[in-house]
Amino acid sequence: MKTKTWRQLTVWLHVITSVAWMGEALALFTLLAISRTTDDGATRVAATSMAHEIDSFLLAPLANASAFTGFMLAATTAWGFTRHWWVLAKFAITLVQLYAGIFLLSGALQDSVEAARAGEPEPAPLALVVGTALMASALAFQAWLSVAKPWGKARAGVKLPTAPTWVFVAAVGAPLADITVGLLLGYPLPALSLIVLVTRLVQRRRGLKDAFPSSHPVKGAFPS
Protein backbone atom coordinates (compact mmCIF):
# COMPACT_ATOMS: atom_id res chain seq x y z
CA MET A 1 0.00 0.00 0.00
CA LYS A 2 1.01 3.61 -0.55
CA THR A 3 2.29 5.95 2.15
CA LYS A 4 -0.98 7.91 2.01
CA THR A 5 -2.98 4.78 2.78
CA TRP A 6 -0.84 3.86 5.78
CA ARG A 7 -0.99 7.46 7.03
CA GLN A 8 -4.77 7.31 6.80
CA LEU A 9 -4.75 4.02 8.72
CA THR A 10 -2.65 5.67 11.43
CA VAL A 11 -5.17 8.53 11.66
CA TRP A 12 -8.03 6.00 11.75
CA LEU A 13 -6.38 4.04 14.56
CA HIS A 14 -5.76 7.26 16.48
CA VAL A 15 -9.40 8.29 16.13
CA ILE A 16 -10.96 4.97 17.19
CA THR A 17 -8.61 4.48 20.15
CA SER A 18 -9.24 8.06 21.29
CA VAL A 19 -13.01 7.55 21.08
CA ALA A 20 -12.65 4.26 22.97
CA TRP A 21 -10.52 5.98 25.62
CA MET A 22 -13.20 8.62 26.17
CA GLY A 23 -15.97 6.00 26.24
CA GLU A 24 -14.14 3.97 28.84
CA ALA A 25 -13.46 7.09 30.93
CA LEU A 26 -17.21 7.73 30.90
CA ALA A 27 -17.84 4.10 31.87
CA LEU A 28 -15.47 4.48 34.83
CA PHE A 29 -17.20 7.71 35.82
CA THR A 30 -20.60 5.99 35.74
CA LEU A 31 -19.48 2.97 37.78
CA LEU A 32 -17.66 5.09 40.36
CA ALA A 33 -20.66 7.42 40.64
CA ILE A 34 -22.83 4.35 41.31
CA SER A 35 -20.37 3.31 44.00
CA ARG A 36 -20.80 6.69 45.69
CA THR A 37 -24.59 6.90 45.43
CA THR A 38 -25.61 3.37 46.41
CA ASP A 39 -26.02 2.17 49.99
CA ASP A 40 -25.63 -1.49 49.07
CA GLY A 41 -22.19 -2.89 49.92
CA ALA A 42 -22.33 -5.63 47.28
CA THR A 43 -23.15 -3.09 44.58
CA ARG A 44 -20.21 -0.94 45.66
CA VAL A 45 -17.85 -3.91 45.43
CA ALA A 46 -19.21 -4.87 42.00
CA ALA A 47 -19.03 -1.29 40.66
CA THR A 48 -15.48 -0.61 41.80
CA SER A 49 -14.29 -4.06 40.72
CA MET A 50 -15.78 -3.62 37.24
CA ALA A 51 -14.25 -0.15 36.99
CA HIS A 52 -10.86 -1.62 37.86
CA GLU A 53 -11.19 -4.34 35.21
CA ILE A 54 -12.16 -1.81 32.54
CA ASP A 55 -9.23 0.40 33.54
CA SER A 56 -6.71 -2.47 33.41
CA PHE A 57 -7.86 -4.42 30.35
CA LEU A 58 -9.41 -1.74 28.12
CA LEU A 59 -8.72 1.86 29.09
CA ALA A 60 -4.99 1.56 29.77
CA PRO A 61 -3.95 -0.24 26.53
CA LEU A 62 -6.24 1.86 24.33
CA ALA A 63 -5.10 5.08 26.01
CA ASN A 64 -1.51 4.04 25.31
CA ALA A 65 -2.40 3.34 21.66
CA SER A 66 -4.21 6.67 21.31
CA ALA A 67 -1.29 8.62 22.76
CA PHE A 68 1.27 6.69 20.71
CA THR A 69 -0.52 7.17 17.38
CA GLY A 70 -1.01 10.87 18.16
CA PHE A 71 2.69 11.31 18.93
CA MET A 72 3.63 9.37 15.80
CA LEU A 73 1.41 11.52 13.58
CA ALA A 74 3.17 14.61 14.94
CA ALA A 75 6.57 12.99 14.46
CA THR A 76 5.91 11.60 10.97
CA THR A 77 4.15 14.49 9.24
CA ALA A 78 4.72 18.19 8.69
CA TRP A 79 2.47 19.06 11.67
CA GLY A 80 5.31 18.52 14.15
CA PHE A 81 4.93 18.96 17.90
CA THR A 82 5.28 22.72 18.43
CA ARG A 83 4.55 24.42 15.09
CA HIS A 84 0.81 24.80 15.82
CA TRP A 85 -0.87 25.76 19.09
CA TRP A 86 -3.61 23.14 18.81
CA VAL A 87 -1.08 20.32 18.34
CA LEU A 88 1.02 21.60 21.24
CA ALA A 89 -2.10 21.79 23.42
CA LYS A 90 -3.07 18.21 22.56
CA PHE A 91 0.47 17.05 23.26
CA ALA A 92 0.53 18.72 26.70
CA ILE A 93 -2.94 17.49 27.66
CA THR A 94 -2.07 13.93 26.63
CA LEU A 95 1.06 13.92 28.79
CA VAL A 96 -0.96 15.14 31.79
CA GLN A 97 -3.64 12.52 31.15
CA LEU A 98 -1.12 9.70 30.93
CA TYR A 99 0.59 10.78 34.14
CA ALA A 100 -2.70 11.24 36.02
CA GLY A 101 -4.16 8.00 34.69
CA ILE A 102 -1.13 5.81 35.37
CA PHE A 103 0.22 7.25 38.62
CA LEU A 104 -2.86 8.75 40.29
CA LEU A 105 -6.22 7.38 39.15
CA SER A 106 -5.18 3.74 38.57
CA GLY A 107 -3.41 3.55 41.93
CA ALA A 108 -6.35 5.08 43.80
CA LEU A 109 -8.77 2.75 42.01
CA GLN A 110 -6.65 -0.27 42.93
CA ASP A 111 -6.66 0.80 46.60
CA SER A 112 -10.43 1.25 46.51
CA VAL A 113 -10.97 -2.21 45.03
CA GLU A 114 -8.66 -3.88 47.54
CA ALA A 115 -10.48 -2.18 50.43
CA ALA A 116 -13.86 -3.24 49.05
CA ARG A 117 -12.80 -6.85 48.58
CA ALA A 118 -11.35 -6.89 52.10
CA GLY A 119 -14.81 -6.29 53.54
CA GLU A 120 -14.68 -2.50 53.68
CA PRO A 121 -16.92 -1.46 50.76
CA GLU A 122 -16.66 2.29 51.20
CA PRO A 123 -17.92 4.66 48.48
CA ALA A 124 -15.39 5.38 45.74
CA PRO A 125 -13.32 8.49 46.56
CA LEU A 126 -14.77 11.69 45.14
CA ALA A 127 -11.38 12.40 43.53
CA LEU A 128 -11.79 9.30 41.35
CA VAL A 129 -15.22 10.38 40.16
CA VAL A 130 -14.01 13.90 39.40
CA GLY A 131 -10.81 12.58 37.79
CA THR A 132 -12.62 10.31 35.36
CA ALA A 133 -15.04 13.11 34.46
CA LEU A 134 -12.11 15.44 33.79
CA MET A 135 -10.39 12.78 31.68
CA ALA A 136 -13.46 12.34 29.46
CA SER A 137 -13.87 16.14 29.22
CA ALA A 138 -10.23 16.60 28.24
CA LEU A 139 -10.57 13.98 25.51
CA ALA A 140 -13.70 15.70 24.19
CA PHE A 141 -11.79 19.01 24.14
CA GLN A 142 -8.92 17.35 22.25
CA ALA A 143 -11.41 16.07 19.68
CA TRP A 144 -12.62 19.64 19.18
CA LEU A 145 -9.02 20.81 18.77
CA SER A 146 -8.47 18.21 16.05
CA VAL A 147 -11.55 19.42 14.16
CA ALA A 148 -11.26 23.20 14.66
CA LYS A 149 -7.43 23.51 14.61
CA PRO A 150 -7.62 26.91 16.36
CA TRP A 151 -5.10 29.61 17.32
CA GLY A 152 -2.78 29.45 14.28
CA LYS A 153 0.95 28.76 14.36
CA ALA A 154 2.99 28.79 17.53
CA ARG A 155 6.31 29.09 15.69
CA ALA A 156 7.66 28.91 12.17
CA GLY A 157 9.84 25.84 12.67
CA VAL A 158 11.12 23.54 9.95
CA LYS A 159 8.51 21.72 7.90
CA LEU A 160 9.95 18.25 7.42
CA PRO A 161 8.62 15.91 4.74
CA THR A 162 6.25 13.06 5.52
CA ALA A 163 7.97 9.94 6.85
CA PRO A 164 8.46 6.89 4.61
CA THR A 165 5.84 4.18 4.38
CA TRP A 166 7.48 1.73 6.78
CA VAL A 167 7.21 4.27 9.63
CA PHE A 168 3.42 4.41 9.24
CA VAL A 169 3.30 0.62 9.01
CA ALA A 170 5.12 0.49 12.36
CA ALA A 171 2.76 3.16 13.75
CA VAL A 172 -0.20 0.89 13.00
CA GLY A 173 1.40 -2.46 13.83
CA ALA A 174 3.17 -1.59 17.10
CA PRO A 175 0.11 -0.61 19.19
CA LEU A 176 -1.94 -3.52 17.84
CA ALA A 177 0.87 -5.91 18.81
CA ASP A 178 1.20 -4.30 22.23
CA ILE A 179 -2.55 -4.55 22.87
CA THR A 180 -2.49 -8.25 21.93
CA VAL A 181 0.49 -8.97 24.18
CA GLY A 182 -1.06 -6.94 27.00
CA LEU A 183 -4.30 -8.91 26.83
CA LEU A 184 -2.36 -12.17 26.94
CA LEU A 185 -0.23 -11.03 29.90
CA GLY A 186 -3.11 -9.41 31.77
CA TYR A 187 -1.59 -5.92 32.01
CA PRO A 188 -0.67 -3.17 29.49
CA LEU A 189 2.84 -3.35 28.07
CA PRO A 190 3.47 -0.70 25.38
CA ALA A 191 7.08 -1.80 24.86
CA LEU A 192 7.07 -2.01 21.05
CA SER A 193 5.24 1.31 20.76
CA LEU A 194 7.88 3.03 22.89
CA ILE A 195 10.69 1.55 20.80
CA VAL A 196 9.06 2.73 17.55
CA LEU A 197 8.35 6.20 18.95
CA VAL A 198 11.88 6.72 20.29
CA THR A 199 13.35 5.50 17.01
CA ARG A 200 11.20 7.95 15.04
CA LEU A 201 12.03 10.86 17.37
CA VAL A 202 15.74 10.19 16.92
CA GLN A 203 15.29 10.10 13.13
CA ARG A 204 13.28 13.32 13.21
CA ARG A 205 15.90 15.00 15.37
CA ARG A 206 18.57 14.10 12.82
CA GLY A 207 16.38 15.43 10.03
CA LEU A 208 16.00 18.75 11.82
CA LYS A 209 19.74 19.00 12.38
CA ASP A 210 20.34 18.36 8.69
CA ALA A 211 17.82 21.09 7.82
CA PHE A 212 19.60 23.69 9.98
CA PRO A 213 22.99 25.23 9.27
CA SER A 214 25.68 24.24 11.73
CA SER A 215 25.58 27.74 13.22
CA HIS A 216 21.93 27.29 14.26
CA PRO A 217 21.66 24.13 16.34
CA VAL A 218 18.28 22.69 17.17
CA LYS A 219 17.33 22.97 20.81
CA GLY A 220 14.73 21.17 22.88
CA ALA A 221 13.98 17.59 23.73
CA PHE A 222 11.06 17.36 21.34
CA PRO A 223 11.57 18.68 17.80
CA SER A 224 9.10 20.91 16.07
Query: Could you tell me the pLDDT band of residue 211, with boundaries at 50, 70 and 90?
Result: low
The range of the structural domain enclosing residue 72 comes to 3-211
- Mean of the per-residue pLDDT values for the chain? 86
C-alpha 88/C-alpha 106 separation (Å) is: 26
**For residue 79, pLDDT beyond 50:** yes
Could you tell me if residue 27 is inside a domain? Answer: yes
The pLDDT, as a whole number, for residue 116 is 76
Share of the chain above pLDDT 90, in %: 50
Q: Give per-residue pLDDT as tens, 27-78.
A: 999 999 998 998 888 888 899 899 999 998 889 999 999 999 999 999 998 8
Domain assignment present for residue 224? The answer is no
Residue 158 falls within a domain, yes or no? yes
Query: For 100-124, how does the pLDDT look when each residue is reduced to its tens digit (9 = 90+)?
Result: 888 888 888 888 888 877 777 788 8
Q: Is the pLDDT of residue 213 over 60?
A: no
CA 201 – CA 57 distance, rounded (Å): 28
Rounded Cα–Cα distance for residues 176 and 180 (Å) = 6
Q: Tell me if 109 is assigned to some domain.
A: yes
The reply to whether 218 falls in a domain is no
- Alpha carbons within 13 A on the beta-carbon side of 117: 10
**Does a structural domain hold residue 55?**
yes
Q: Give the pLDDT score at 221.
A: 42
Is a pLDDT exceeding 50 seen at residue 93?
A: yes
Q: What is the pLDDT of residue 32?
A: 93
Given a cut of 60, whether residue 218 has pLDDT beyond it is: no
Split into its structural domains, the chain has a count of 1
User: What percentage of residues in the chain have a pLDDT greater than 70?
Assistant: 91
Residue 139 belongs to some domain of the structure: yes
Q: What confidence score (pLDDT) does residue 169 get? A: 94
Could you tell me if residue 11 is inside a domain?
Answer: yes
Q: How many of the other CB atoms lie within 10 Å of CB of 57?
A: 16
